[in-house]
Amino acid sequence: MRPGPTTADGEDASGTTPAASGARRRREDVLTLCPVCRREVPPEALRRGDALGHDVRALAESNVPGWRPDQGLCAECEARFAGAAEYLRQHGRDPRMGGILPTPVRLGAGDRFHGRGVTIAFLDAGFFAHPDLVEPRDRIVRYMDVTSGRQRRADLDRADESSWHGMMTSVVAAGNGRLSDGFYRGLASEARLVLVKCGDARRVPHDHIRRGLEWVLRNHRRYGIRIVNVSLGGDYEAPYLHDRLSQAAERCTLAGLLVCAAAGNKGLEPGHPVLPPASAPSVLTVGALDDQNRLGFGTYGLYHSSYGPTIDGLQKPEVIAPGIWVAAPILPGTPTAAQAALLHRLERSSDDELPAVLAAGSGIDADLDAAREREPDAVRELIHAKVRQNNVITGDYKHVDGSSFAAPIVSSVAARMLEANPSLAPQQLKHLLISTARRLGDVAVDRQGWGAIDPERAVLAALSLRPAPRKR
């Protein structure tokens, strides 16, 4: 290989002497990959074996298939696992045990910001005033039903089939984990909420989403709305210049609102279209990743969310976030809630207690009623099958999937960023979320955009742009 051009002083064109250049190449030659995040680090930067601590080793072994303590962890991954272990210990959970991990733990989010002082508007089919949103302090500042024009707060206290989706998306973003003693909380657990109903369990029309965005646009200053989460999609593809829904989203951005929209779940279908408002240029479109309920970046894969190019030739989504194994609330007072509570009690019962618990829960689940006289091992096999089939975590939570839940996770990260730096414009929020995302290896770029969101890096980037205090 021919050497590059040098100056009279023996420097190459970059101003580096051959000796210095050789030293740099030698340093680069000894870099190694962290076995978890796959970043290049010097070998001496990997902490190994007992130096990692018992809980960190236990979490790494259970979250990174094939990992051994002698392989080590980089400083960033060690801090990530140590933070997760501390979170689990604070809530009385054994770091070595399985179960669905809370979103802040899975994403390695810090504990400094929680969306305090930020209002997020949610557009969805319906909502419910879940305890994770209203206890001990009611953080719902306004409810609006654009399908009927009603705005009665009391409507949120009635659970019906249309309440499910919006209740889950809003709690995934901003729930404080009230029914889990704070364990299953969202990243924006102190944010305020504006809830905008745009349809029902059967259908959310294209035009109703547009009306919801326009209502937010008219009222955003009154309620301090900075972020709009849309876990809905329109009825058809349309060029954004001619589509009223897309235009409403564009106007929201111009007014200073970050519109965060789910990409959709049609990644396995021919054409896999991204529909309005997610297809609009200024919208931050969120696809879904499958982190397999683990902490190690190396285990990340993709969920079947929709991706571009859009009808306008725009590449969507821009970022991806967890879209499966996401803890979400069960609608209180429903048959689903009764069944989950019974299954949770049965899981925690001894063999001797099973008959009494089954008898007390008579009429809730026909299969469990029929198993009342069976041997304990057979009953437990049925219980475990029911728990897996119904995605039950506890009597109050289940795990859900879809880009509908990836979008509110990104909205909650944006709320943390705005708490850290309220001066950020929507374009800046979008840029920082994109620029701090982690690109996944061996995954097509068109499906992941700029990669998986990294909440802690995004918040640090927001802090770096905070205006300096004025001198007095």
What confidence score (pLDDT) does residue 103 get? 94
Q: How far apart are CA 298 and CA 34, in angstroms?
A: 10
Instruction: Find the range with the poorest average confidence among 206-215, 268-277, 309-318.
Output: 268-277
pLDDT band at 366 (very low <50, low <70, confident <90, very high): very high
Strands of 174-257, DSSP E: 192-197, 225-230
Q: What superfamily does domain 119-328+400-464 belong to in CATH?
A: Peptidase S8/S53 domain (3.40.50.200)
Residue 25 has pLDDT above 90, yes or no: no
User: In angstroms, rounded to a whole number, what is the distance separating the alpha carbons of residues 254 and 270?
Assistant: 34
Which is more confident, 230 or 40? 230
Q: Tell me the pLDDT of the chain averaged across its residues.
A: 90
pLDDT at 98: 67
Averaged pLDDT, 170-191: 97
What separation in angstroms does the CA of 40 have from each of 3, 47, 59, 122, 444? Answer: 26, 14, 22, 40, 21
4 pLDDT more than 60: no
4, two tokens: 């590059």
Residue ranges per structural domain of the chain: 32-93, 119-328+400-464, 333-395
Q: Give yes or no for residue 6 having a pLDDT over 80.
A: no
**What does the pLDDT look like over 63-106, one tens digit per residue?**
888 889 999 999 888 988 888 888 888 888 876 666 899 999 99
Tens digits of per-residue pLDDT, 318-338?
Answer: 999 999 999 999 999 999 999
pLDDT band at 308 (very low <50, low <70, confident <90, very high): confident
More confident position, 420 or 31: 420
pTM of the predicted model as reported, rounded to 2 decimal places:
0.89
Q: Which residues lie across from 47 on neighbouring strands?
A: 73
The confidence band for 3, taking pLDDT boundaries of 50, 70 and 90, is very low
**Length of the chain as a residue count:** 472
Burial, 356: exposed, middle or buried (Cβ in 10 Å; 0-12, 13-18, 19+)? exposed
Q: Which of 38-42, 276-280, 360-364 has the lowest mean pLDDT?
A: 38-42
Exposed/middle/buried for residue 426 (C-beta within 10 Å: 0-12, 13-18, 19+): buried
